Amino acid sequence: MFTPRTVRISTVVLVLSVLSGVLLGACAQERTPTARIIALHPTPEYVGRRLKEIEAEIAAEVPIGGLSRQLSYYLRTRLPHLAVVTRDEASAENLRFATTELGQPSPYVCFGDFDGDGLEDTAVVVREEAAHRFDVMAFHQIHVVSNPGNHRSRDYRGHTIFRGGAIPPGIKLDALRIACQEPGRFESFEGGVTLILENHSIIFGFSVYYFVDNQFRSLGIAD
């Protein structure tokens, strides 16, 4: 007979009452690059000047879909093949629920601290135009040190936590919604796993996605 036990993994506590190899798993994901090549042989002055130019460009960026100027700039300059799904695609009820009940800018964007470093991270639904599909991604704010000169700034690291199937051209994602959840307790849909999270997580479909050991994992949860 299996005895219930508690296992602590980083900032996640799992209370297991049944053996299950399918409820918990690493999500298929990719990380987006974060390194900037400013110059082949930069001087501290050049690096500092270029970072100030980037700051000015970010300040002038037009925010997209409820994102910050900095993340909008990141997506436009680093991941131009992705398009943020905007509130224009949402049904009236989906938009009302996301903005009124969840306090999000749209059903496709929400915010939280997924890795527990004290910086606000963002979950967002994006389209891969060439592949005609959508992805759910999380963008973590990170601290960056640029040398020479020890210049400090912030950047993003992206994680693809869910890859959607093919979407025919012209089809809207009107009923799709993500939600960022406060730290708390989640029960698996079979009732055999209790997940206690100390950081924010992302709800999509019937799963909760949480960040641990430098990657996102998922748990199928009850309604």
Report the pLDDT value the prediction gives residue 36, as an integer from 0 to 100. Answer: 52
Amino acid at site 119: L
Query: Given a cut of 70, is residue 30 above it in pLDDT?
Result: no
Query: Given a cut of 60, is residue 121 above it in pLDDT?
Result: yes
Query: Given a cut of 70, is residue 13 above it in pLDDT?
Result: no
- Band of pLDDT at residue 37, cut at 50, 70 and 90: very low
Report the pLDDT value the prediction gives residue 152, as an integer from 0 to 100. Answer: 93
**What average pLDDT does the segment 87-101 reach?**
97
Query: Given a cut of 60, is residue 194 above it in pLDDT?
Result: yes
**What average pLDDT does the segment 32-52 reach?**
75
Report the pLDDT value the prediction gives residue 11, as an integer from 0 to 100. Answer: 43
- Band of pLDDT at residue 198, cut at 50, 70 and 90: very high
Kindly state the percentage of the chain with pLDDT values over 70: 82
Mean pLDDT of the chain: 86
Report the pLDDT value the prediction gives residue 27, as an integer from 0 to 100. Answer: 60
Number of folded domains that form the chain: 1
Query: Given a cut of 50, is residue 15 above it in pLDDT?
Result: no
**What average pLDDT does the segment 129-157 reach?**
94
**What average pLDDT does the segment 6-17 reach?**
41
- Band of pLDDT at residue 31, cut at 50, 70 and 90: low
Q: Which of 15-19, 39-43, 86-90, 219-223 has the lowest mean pLDDT?
A: 15-19
Question: Among 36, 121, 48, 29, which residue's Cα sits nearest to residue 78?
Answer: 36
112 lies in which domain range? 5-220
